[in-house]
Chains A and B, each alone.
Chain A
Amino acid sequence: MKSHVRRLSLILILVLLLGALATVSVAAQGDVAREDTVIFDIDSSDVPNPTNFNPEVPGTNKNQGAHQAMWEPLFILNYETGKIQPWLAESFTPNDKQDVWTLKLRDGATWSDGVPFTADDVDFTINMLLNDKTDSLSDAPGMQQWVSSVKKIDNLTEEFDLKAPDPRFQLDYFSVRIWGSLDILPKHVWEGQDPFTFTFYDQAKGWPIGTGPYKLTSAAPTQFVWDRDDNWWGAKTGFHALPEPKRLIWVIAPSEDQKALLLSTHQLDSAMNISLGAYQAVQAKNPNVIAWHKDLPYAWADPCPRELNLNTTVAPWTDPNMRKAISLIIDRSKNIEIAYEGTTTASQTMFVQYGGMAPYITAIVNAGYGISPTADVAGGQKLIEAAGYVKGSDGMYAKDGKNLSLNIQVSTDTVEYARSTNVIVEELRAAGVDATSQPLTGSTASNNENQGTFEGSWGLESCGSVNEPWVSMDTLNPNWLQPVGTRANHDLVRWSGDGATAYGKIVDQIGTLPLGDPQIPGLVTQAYKYVFDETPVIPLVQAEKLVPFDTTYWTNWPTAENNYNHPATWWNSTHQIILNLHKASK
């Protein structure tokens, strides 16, 4: 019997050891003290493929540290100033027609294996994307839409010939406009590999590599460890001193409770996004935790404002006045108070309300096309009644024996979406619209929007503009119009007709003007008149991201007062944050 027990114990221990060995270890390194380590979280339940570092296949995680610590962008858009800051590249200048762009790389930049970062790498990466006949590598559609060819001028200069003028070419693809940017790949590693199946990981060869100041130490489904590369090109060339953190760790903390517990006990230096309740609970335990704002709304607004979309092909929302009625009935302040606990602000237009967008938003509001944060229920009801609806004994409007109903689909991806939708539904029902919400998985909701098979949809489709208005405006451009049942990339509400056509023409004109052209605010106002009159989109509130930072070990986190850039630590621009961090003991 005893020998059986012993054997059984041995088997159990062996099984545990196997489990331990299944974790991929690049190289066991010496321990790094907690005060030299920064710990971030990944907003995910798990990373089942921790050793896939191919940034061009859609399933790859990049925010496990890969594009915050290892892959550097060519440029970084500063949300606070609206300016594009050089990083791996020094400049990207267009010709007068804006259809030939010349990229100048920074001299002395190298990959972490010591090989110089040159125009050959840019040339190779762009050609790889242009040669993707399936157009399905993540950055292929963008490059194939715009780029005719690329040419290496010298080791540090690359020329891009575009198919048409694009004033936003640098901003859209190479400047971390939102979340990430096109990653330049090392030619000496990627050449000869199948870009679809190459994982860019080989422990023996030291892959993956990047130009950033950190190298991968270990990758497991629940955590990624990156250690500082003291040979980083930036420190050698004087671009920037070595970052102070010796180690960066990204861990999976799937639930908000776990994030809060880890933050409370100094086991996490920053979390991606938590609710106000969790933030206050954390602060009660750990007063060193700060956020973007010192007081309400605490949160930073991310660039995707929330909105309600009504399908313009579904009656009665084919009538612009009926769409306007819904917009008037919605009380944005109430939505902020109830659904967001005061952590965000009302949208005045379809745009994100950053400093760089202020000239355009101001022009629209001054022209009388802005929307009120409070409801005008009587005004909305008047429009409904003008369309022939009469309120019944049940308090709901009806016409020809049929209630005025509105089904709003909402993604279940985060609880925020459902909470906001539920408040809207209650407001509409109180005003006499028989509204309901339909929670759907994110992919189903998204697919319905793209196919046009929805009635109402809570979403963020106007997302895109950050420091210029064209990208968001183009999302309503009827150039993108597709019939219901055919996948559309934009104009998901299927807005069409004279107003839409006139709007599209002005948006096309804006699209050809250089960034910052003085004509743009006037043109934006002209185009927005059609949006105001026909209400193809109902802007709701700005997006909120409450990003907590623990100052126990690290200081100089970005805040509204110390706004060297925004606080999104899951973006490619996090390189800036990491370089700015200081040890708290100093």
Chain B
Amino acid sequence: MGGMTRGYLLRRVLIFFLTIWIAASIIWLIPRLAPGDPITAMVSRMLSRSGYIRDSAAIIEGWKARFGLNDPLPVQYIRYLSNIIHLDFGYSLAYFPTTVNEIIALALPWTVGLLLIAVFITFILGNFLGAVMVWRGTPRLFRMLIPVGMIFTSLPSILAAIFLIYVFAFLLNWFPMMGPYDIGMQPGFNLAFIGNVIYHGTLPALSIVIVSFGYWSLGMRGMMITVEGEDYMQLARAKGLSPFYVLYRYMVRNAILPQVTAFALTLGGLVSGQVLVEYMFSYQGMGSIIYNAILTQDFPVIQGTSFILILMTALAVLIIDLLYPLIDPRISYERG
């Protein structure tokens, strides 16, 4: 492999597994440090619904035994580790007999669908604006307007969501205010339904885009400024190349490398969803799952969702590390 030794590869893979193991242990431990327990939480919810339960102690003990929560902690830990090796996160405590994998399978496509679009739009828009802010050919007025547009990027996404719901769903009635598709609509593999899903996804996606494109713009702008001072830029201009050609072939292509790295990391984190945005729009994705799991102290769901997030992020980092020498010949992991 160009620029990479076998020792480095082994070390990197070892670190990958070590990271996964440490992170998996932490996500097993943290929920257990919190006061209360999931079974009591489950029975409390029953109690708050029905107002009265004849013998809650019997129900709690029965379910604790069923879930193995009375076993010593080391036994629970070993069982947990052996299960996650097979990506088996067991049953949800709050929604038994549904398994964690079933819950994730139902939510993940919605989150990935929504966030993938939002992240791509954000990436393209942010980098485009970052590039044109530096480019000499950009009209002055446009260059001044871009920072104004970035005011939104200092907002948390939940505020953006509230703003968008109020303006575009309530006042103007252009978009639906909640849900992944129309109330009463029958899901199906047809254009009407797909169009409706996209229509419903617009505001949630927009609320992510408007608060995060500035991050990409600023990053791109910084890189563009650095690139602009390089000798090859002087040469390109001296050669009389068109400004747009210089922008695209010389500036953007060199400046975008670190952005692509960050983008890959962002993709790794996609699976965690956007908890508050999904909550605000009543969107049935991973964010809602995580929110519910925290409220209900549903250990297996918290562990399952966190583990997938960690796995995806660690994988993204590993892949980037391994691909770097291939993408950029200047990077080498060979000794000496």
Interface residues of A (CB under 8 A from B): 8, 12-13, 15-25, 28-29, 31-32, 37, 39, 45-46, 48-52, 54, 57-60, 63, 134-136, 138, 140-142, 145, 178-180, 196-199, 217-218, 220-223, 225, 247, 249, 251-255, 257-258, 261-262, 265, 267, 303-304, 413, 440-444, 446-447, 450, 460, 463-464, 471, 487-489
Contacts and interface: CB of A to CB of B under 8 A. Distances in A.
B66 A136 contact: yes
Contact of B291 (A45, A134, A471): A45
A353 to B, nearest CB: 16
A15 B52 contact: no
Interface residues of B, number: 84
A143 B60 CA distance: 16
A304 B51 contact: yes
Interface in B32-53: 35-38, 40-53
Given A16-B198, A141-B55, A179-B49, A48 B42 contact: no
Contacts of B66: 134, 136, 196
A198 B97 CA distance: 7
A491 B313 CA distance: 50
Given A46-B288, A136-B62, A265-B173, 20 more contacts: A13-B194, A17-B189, A21-B109, A22-B105, A45-B279, A45-B288, A48-B103, A52-B97, A57-B97, A59-B94, A60-B95, A136-B61, A221-B288, A265-B170, A304-B51, A413-B48, A443-B44, A450-B56, A463-B51, A464-B52
Given A15-B109, A48-B95, A180-B50, A136 B177 contact: no
A218 B186 contact: yes
A253 B36 contact: no
Contacts of A45: 279, 282, 288, 291-292, 295
A20 B189 CA distance: 7
B61 to A, nearest CB: 8
B310 to A, nearest CB: 21
Contact of A19 (B50, B62, B112, B120): B112
Interface in B13-46: 35-38, 40-46
A49 B51 contact: no
B291 to A, nearest CB: 6
B109 A446 contact: no
Contact of B180 (A196, A222, A253): A222
- From A18, A220, A443, name the one whose CB has the most chain B CB atoms within 10 angstroms: A443
Contacts of A24: 106, 187
B197 A254 contact: no
Interface in B146-193: 162, 165, 169-170, 173, 177-181, 183-184, 186-189, 193
B179 A222 contact: yes
Given A138-B46, A446-B40, A19 B113 contact: yes
Contact of A447 (B40, B97, B179): B40
Given A12-B117, A20-B189, A134-B65, A223 B183 contact: yes
A471 B193 contact: no
Contact of B109 (A18, A46, A218, A225): A18
B58 interface: yes
B249 interface: no
Contacts of A12: 113, 116-117, 120
B215 to A, nearest CB: 21
The 4 A-B pairs of least Cβ separation, nearest first, read A136-B62, A443-B41, A141-B55, A49-B98
Contact of B55 (A18, A145, A225, A463): A145
Contacts of A145: 54-55
B51 A258 contact: no
B241 to A, nearest CB: 19
Contacts of A37: 184
A142 to B, nearest CB: 4
A52 B91 CA distance: 13
Contacts of A261: 165, 169-170, 177
